[in-house]
Structure 1
Amino acid sequence: SLVEQFYDLKQINDEFRAYDFKKNLEAKEELIHQAEVLTENADVIHSFRVLQELHHQWRELGPVARELREEVWARFKAASTAINKKYQEHFEKQKMREQENLAAKTLLCEEMEAIDTSGLNSLAKWDEQTKAVLEIQAKWKTIGYARRSDNEKIYERFRAACDDYFNKKTAFFKGKREELTDNYKKKLAMVEEAESLQESSDWKETSTRLAELQKKWKTIGAVPHRYSDEIWKRFTTACDAFFKRKKDEQGDMRSEERENLKSKKAIIAELETLDSEEASEGIIDRLNALAGRWNSIGFVPFREKDTINKAYRKLIDGLYDKLNIERSNRRLEGYNASLEQLEGGGKGQLYDERDRMTRILDRMRNELQTYTNNLGFLNISSKSGNSLMREMERKKEKLEEDIRLMIEKIKLIDKKVEELNSKE
């Protein structure tokens, strides 16, 4: 009958429906399992994207048994909520990091913009400041991105501050080269004038003019390194040539100078005897006494000065002045240790140190030349003249010793530079 057919069909339909519910439940439980696994995944971006696909698949599935629908959905929703929360937290943390990065980069921009280059008036100071700038740039690279809308702006600001600094540095070095070249031109003109005067016989006028040139020379700064020694040698050679001619033309030395020469020769004879004797207690006192006598004696004839002084120094070097040589060696060793520290900064710092030493050497040479000239002007016939001349002679000898030490220091620097060149 129709009723029986109806119930038969209904039973078949119920069986198919129960079967669909079962299959749908199995599929949804698999999706729930996948979602729950995703909650433990550290890659929240990947988890969120996979979750979207799981939701799409969930919507494509049919229903499950009515009594299970709420429970199944609640499980899937709980896993989805956990993933969505992690996803949200991830972007909140990222936003916070971007804000922190922006703040850190802003501080570096302000640090660059606050650099005052007005006080950077030497190569060494520029090198020191440039190291700090490079450290700031290195720190910038360690900071992550800011928000996209801010990242380009903050980078442009930082790059502008860096460009401004390096443009100023370039301008300084260009100005420094121009200054060195200008100083060279000025000193070259003075050299040419001194050379034109070295054969002059107008003793008074030329002496005054050369003294003026020597004084002016000290007011002019350094010249390019490759010309420094050459131009100084030309200038001093011309000045020395004139003053030597002046001395030679003024005739024999006064009798007092000849007597001084005899006295100094007598001291040298005593030193020769002392040098041949074995060291004994009290030798320092004897050396001090001889040195005191030597220093108390005035000038000797100009033509004999170098010979007698060299003979004296040769003897005293092995005795009394041996202490001074040891002290000089210790000073050189200490200076060599300081150079080893500069060596770590590269050739730039060594070149700066050499320029500084050369300027000091030029100044000492100028002072030495001034002492030499002034000694020629003094009236040695008076008592006060002799006293002043002895003091100036003492200072002159001290300057000569300091100049020798300075030359040794410059040689040490050159040796360090050669060692760095050989390593490159």
Structure 2
Amino acid sequence: MEIPFGHVENNKLFRSAFGQVEALQLKEVKEDEVAPAVAYFIAKYDKLKAKLDEIEEKINTQNNKGSFLSSLQNIEDSIPTHDGLGDYQILLDRITPLKSILEDYVQKNREKNTDIKQALLLELDVILANPDQEEAFEQIKDLKSRWLKTGSADLSVRTELEEKFKTGVDGFFEKRNAFTEDKKMLVQARLGEYQSIVAEIKSFIEKKEFQKSLDRVKELQKQWKEVGRIPEKDFQSINESYWKVTQDYFDRQKKRKNSDRKLKAKDEKESLKAKNEILSELKELVQNAFGCEPKAFDALKLKWKNSGHVSKKVHPEVHEGFMQLSREWQERQFIWSLAGKKNKGFAKKDQKSQFKDLLRVIRDLLHRDETELKSFNENMGNMHINKGSFVDMLNDKLKTQQEKVALKKNLLKECQEKIKQL
């Protein structure tokens, strides 16, 4: 049968290529399954198109147009891998001018908001000069309401405007501490800060984050002294909690240091030997991970944890080897689980059939990962940043994506070899 925007090849239904987007395999089909499969994927395309129609309608009819920009972007990003049959190029052609309209709308709104906030700052200067505190208080409340209702200003001046407004308003309320209502607000803010300090220290204890939290706890102790006074009845209770939690923290910190000293005293050669033996066991386990119960892997993880300290700086290859094998284990487990979900009766099939099912799953995942890698490389090529932590983060992400592709290729080759042997 003739399939609009698609074709069947080797009993596989494909969405045809368009523009810069490659053909996408949708499903393996028998001859009598083609028609219902085509109808199903046409329906999926229609659903996506209806979603775009709905967003376009809202853009044309609603005032807050900028809020739909991310939804429009999400649809555009999904099109290269969307499993449907239809004219996706038309959708892209519709999205492009809509995005341009919204981006222009957002920019103009920000310019308008900048003008409004600059005018509000002039009003604030007049209010702060008003000697009548009660009248000024009502004016400040109205001004704050209008400021909050005004959207974001242009990014180039946003921080400056917000800081000027905050400085002015904070200064007004500091002068008005004699009024009961403002005193209550100040007390609640201080009490909240006290509670936040106690909660943060408690979270370090609950998460057992002692190694990197000591400097932060010392900062929190300084903050505690600088928060300010609150009524004695409120302070007594929170102060008791504070001293209890800090004492608990430092007691546990002391135990951790003692424990660390004992671990470091352990013979590192013995630990290194033990970890290398575990790596050999783990490598063998990973090679047979398809269909394997996770208990064996969990046992090796516990064994690794209890095998003693080995310096990451001196022996980085040992720790990296463990992490790489762990990631490969998890990937194989995920692929096995996904094959079970996608293929009815998978668990009861013979090995050769199972590896064929695994092969299809790995191909799909490899295609997805290669597409993401290509897109990532293109995006990085368009950036003009050559230093800083952001670049380091991008490089780490690129490396991770490259490793995912390499692992999928190796697994693909392994399954192909298994099928030949069975």
Q: Normalising to structure 1: TM-score of the pair?
A: 0.32
Larger relative CO (CA 8 A, sep 6+): 1 or 2? 1
Flag the structure with larger Rg. Answer: 1
Q: Normalising to structure 2: TM-score of the pair?
A: 0.32
Give the structure with the higher percent helix: 1
